[in-house]
């Protein structure tokens, strides 16, 4: 079976974004990550920084926190972001072969037979080292930041998909970038594509 779309879901600090970009470059197709943020900002007239934060992370990791900030109909700006991103992801998948990083794309495109859904993960030590070296995080307690980001990402995913983020049943392939490295992840995914 040939795949047209590859979605990359990832733990924070696992290198999933890098895997997606390198994979797209190797395959000669587009990679959509921050471009989705820009397109969503244009569609919703919200600031790109707001989209970046609201478009993949729950404001709060608790259900109560997720329900705060809603109007009397239960609607929030975060719902607008979700709906705009969903529409954009569906349009991109129809338009051309591509890699889509994050933003619940695995769930949004779950019914497509031509979509390969990948989850990139790594052990806490590898992820902590990566965010210090690559993203310039402070060396004291990067694990706390990793746990908080993953918790918020998980809450957002669950809220909008009613599925569990990171549940291997949601993906076709799960790769441990901490063990096999970024390049090997790219090799494996491109060999399946």
DSSP string, 43-64: HHT--HHHHHHHTTS-SSSSHH
pTM for the structure as a whole: 0.87
pLDDT value of position 58: 59
Kindly state which CATH superfamily the domain 5-192 is placed in: P-loop containing nucleotide triphosphate hydrolases (3.40.50.300)
**DSSP run (H or E) holding 6:** strand 5-10
Beta-bridged to residue 98, according to DSSP, are 5, 30
pLDDT value of position 115: 97
Q: How confident is the model at residue 146 (pLDDT cuts 50, 70, 90)?
A: very high
pLDDT value of position 5: 98
CA angle in degrees (0–180, nearest 5) for 163-167-53? 65
Q: Which of 1-5, 41-45, 138-142 has maximum average pLDDT?
A: 41-45
pLDDT value of position 128: 93
pLDDT value of position 92: 96
Average pLDDT, the chain: 88
| Rg of the chain on CA atoms, in Å | 16
pLDDT at position 88 over 70: yes
Q: Residues 6 or more apart from 187 whose CB is under 8 A from it?
A: none
pLDDT value of position 1: 54
pLDDT in tens, 26-84: 999 999 998 999 998 898 888 888 888 776 665 554 445 455 556 556 667 788 889 99
* Domain chopping of the chain, boundaries: 5-192
Question: What is the number of H-type helices and E-type strands within the chain?
Answer: 9, 5
Strand positions, DSSP E, 25-145: 30-32, 98-101, 115-121
63 or 178, greater pLDDT? 178
């Amino acid at each position: 079976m040939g795949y047209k779309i590859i979605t990359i879901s990832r733990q924070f600090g696992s290198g999933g974004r890098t895997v997606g970009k390198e994979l797209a470059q190797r395959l000669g197709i587009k990679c959509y990550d921050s471009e989705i943020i820009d397109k969503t900002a244009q569609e919703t007239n919200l600031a790109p920084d707001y989209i970046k934060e609201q478009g993949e992370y729950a404001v709060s990791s608790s259900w109560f926190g997720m329900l705060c900030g809603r109007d009397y109909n239960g609607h929030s700006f975060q719902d607008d972001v979700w709906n705009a991103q969903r529409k954009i992801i569906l349009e991109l998948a129809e338009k051309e072969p591509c890699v889509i990083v994050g933003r619940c794309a695995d769930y949004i495109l779950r019914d497509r037979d031509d979509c390969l859904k990948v989850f990139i993960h790594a052990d806490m030590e590898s992820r902590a080292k990566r965010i210090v070296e690559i993203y310039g995080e402070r060396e004291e307690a990067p694990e706390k930041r990793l746990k908080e980001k993953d918790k918020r990402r998980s809450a957002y995913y669950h809220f909008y998909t009613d599925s569990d983020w990171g549940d291997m049943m949601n993906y076709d392939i799960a790769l441990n970038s901490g063990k096999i490295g970024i390049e090997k992840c790219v090799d494996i995914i491109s060999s399946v594509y």
